[in-house]
Amino acid sequence: MTEALNPCNKNTPNPLVKPGYEVMVWPCNDGVVALINLGSGDLKKTLQYAADGVHFSTIGHVGQCPYAAGFYRPEAFTDSQQGAMPLWGVEITQNKGQLPGLGYFEIEWSSD
């Protein structure tokens, strides 16, 4: 068995979400942003920000979220150390009576 290079450790004192949530996380400016899609309660369909990467707070609500999505983040392929809000990505799509597939989506962020 191969040993993980960067094992994840549970943040017991400050869990952002409970099991069963769908979350995307990426670096943005000097902190970390999390888009929480599926789940229950007040965190569902929210944007969360943590300057320290640990202590998150809600910075916005999202009306329609992509499902099982992955954002395209060009800065992930550079050494800029400057994350930005992603503008597009791919998600799982499924039409009735068809197998799941990949779909393209775009996101327009507002400062509201």
Q: What pLDDT is stored for residue 109 in this prediction?
A: 80
**pLDDT score of 94:** 86
Residue 46 has a CB neighbour count (10 Å cut-off) of: 21
Query: Where are the extended beta strands (E) located within the chain?
Result: 23-28, 31-36, 46-50, 57-61, 70-71, 88-93, 101-106
Q: What is the pLDDT of residue 6?
A: 60
Q: What is the pLDDT along the chain (112 residues), one digit of tens a residue?
A: 455 566 666 666 666 676 667 888 888 888 899 988 877 778 888 899 999 888 889 998 888 888 888 889 888 777 777 788 898 999 999 889 999 999 999 988 876 5
